[in-house]
């Protein structure tokens, strides 16, 4: 009996230590989603807070239209008029009920694409921006490469299951959304609840209400996204949310209860993470080397989402160029003289360049929770290339 008690005590103690040492994994294991693939990503840094099958290739249905909308916006042609072709008019599935020969502004097509998931709008956009659907598909795949979507391939602008060569992953779609949300026009359209557009063939206007129920009804912190569904892909959903100073992206593929999946992921993250300024802008204090003392600064703050326990595990490593004789003339000193590297549990999470001179604003600082022992572990002798 005593041996059994000791064995149970040992197992419980071991489990407790593991849960303390790996707080993220513990949080992730407690989170449940209905989706086959899912991811929760910090929009600013790209940090993945939760994932399941995030890199598995899957059909993605109408969340494809995030890429279609992005390319239309980046084309600079939103104010131009599109004449709807017979090819666009005949597109199956969800529709804006456009008519062949109808004239409509490209911007309004993008609203109809994102809010009502119009497949006819997707083809009309593709033909306008890419010259043809095939030309636009080539643009989609080139843009995917640029963004770093390594496990994605597009074969149409709408996401219909007409080929097996149209797929992506939860991770790649989060990357795409992270990129797209940097575009103010995209963010505005994706976050619009209702849009009114003139109808050139009737005496009434189109009024399109967003299908994203998280945005319109279910979650007050939702800022946008795109819904999707086909018989083969099942339910797919991309949403964004902002609460306090945390901007998040959630993606689910084949998620029968996707509305709740997204809410649960968001709420778990907002309870666990804070957006922490690890280093601020301004003068970099604490460097004692004569050449650099009180003469270095950081231009861009480094902010990263962290749990309370993780705040104690952040390390900052300062690396500076070895001073040269000719630097007795301050004008010979290069603008960038080093880098600050930021680590969490030994893994690099970011870096910032260190500049020589005096900052215009002297509000810079390293957050007090960082380990001062590791903070100014200077490596003089760093090469000019880092």
Query: Which residue, among 269, 257, 302, has the nearest Cα to 44 in the 3D structure?
Result: 302
Of 65, 178, 234, 295, catalytic: 65
Cα–Cα distance between 263 and 276 in angstroms, integer? Answer: 23
- Catalytic, 117? Answer yes
367 catalytically annotated: no
Cα 234-124-133 angle, rounded to 5 deg: 75
The helix/strand count (H/E) of the chain reads as: 13, 16
* Residue from 37, 85, 94, 117 carrying the catalytic annotation: 117
Interatomic CA distance for residues 180 and 78, integer angstroms: 16
Query: Which residues have a Cβ under 8 Å from the Cβ of 317 and sit 6 or more positions away?
Result: 340, 341, 343, 374, 377, 379
List the alpha helices (DSSP H) in 299-378.
Answer: 308-311, 372-375
CA distance 325 to 308: 45
Q: Is 308 a catalytic residue?
A: no
Nearest 5°: CA angle at 48, between 46 and 51?
A: 145
Instruction: Choose, from 37, 58, 62, 94, the residue flagged as catalytic.
Output: 62
Would you name the residues annotated as active-site residues? Answer: 62, 65, 117
């Amino acid at each position: 009996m005593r041996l059994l008690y000791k064995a149970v005590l040992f197992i419980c103690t071991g489990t407790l230590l593991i849960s303390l040492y790996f707080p993220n994994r513990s949080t992730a294991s407690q989170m449940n989603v209905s989706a086959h693939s899912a991811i929760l990503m910090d929009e600013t840094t790209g940090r993945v807070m939760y994932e399941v099958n995030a890199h598995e290739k899957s059909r993605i249905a109408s969340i494809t239209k995030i890429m279609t909308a992005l390319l239309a916006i980046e084309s600079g042609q939103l104010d131009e008029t599109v004449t709807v072709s017979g090819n666009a008019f005949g597109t199956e599935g969800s529709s804006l009920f456009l008519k062949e020969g109808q004239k409509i502004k490209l911007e309004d097509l993008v609203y109809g694409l994102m809010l009502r998931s119009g497949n006819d709008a997707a083809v009309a956009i593709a033909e306008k921006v890419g010259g043809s659907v095939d030309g636009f598909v080539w643009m989609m795949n080139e843009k995917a490469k640029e963004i770093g979507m390594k496990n994605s391939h597009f074969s149409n602008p709408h996401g219909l299951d007409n080929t097996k060569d149209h797929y992506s992953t939860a991770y790649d779609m989060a990357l795409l959304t992270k990129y797209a949300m940097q575009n103010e026009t995209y963010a505005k359209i994706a976050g619009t609840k209702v849009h009114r557009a003139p109808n050139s063939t009737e005496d009434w206007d189109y009024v399109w209400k967003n299908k994203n129920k998280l945005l319109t009804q279910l979650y007050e912190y939702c800022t946008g996204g795109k819904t999707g569904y086909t018989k083969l892909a099942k339910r797919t959903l991309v949403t964004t949310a902002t609460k306090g100073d945390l901007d998040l992206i959630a993606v689910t593929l084949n998620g029968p209860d996707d509305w709740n999946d997204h809410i649960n992921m968001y709420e778990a993250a907002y309870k666990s993470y804070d957006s922490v300024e690890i280093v601020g802008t301004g003068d970099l204090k604490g460097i004692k080397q004569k050449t650099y003392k009180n003469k270095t600064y950081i231009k861009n703050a480094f902010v990263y989402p962290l749990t309370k326990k993780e705040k104690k595990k952040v390390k900052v490593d300062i690396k500076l160029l070895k001073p040269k004789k000719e630097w007795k003339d301050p004008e010979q000193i290069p603008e960038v003289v080093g880098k600050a590297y930021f680590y969490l549990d030994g893994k690099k999470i970011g870096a910032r360049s260190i500049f020589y001179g005096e900052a215009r604003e002297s509000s810079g600082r390293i957050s007090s929770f960082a380990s001062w022992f590791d903070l100014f572990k200077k490596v003089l002798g760093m090469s000019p290339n880092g």
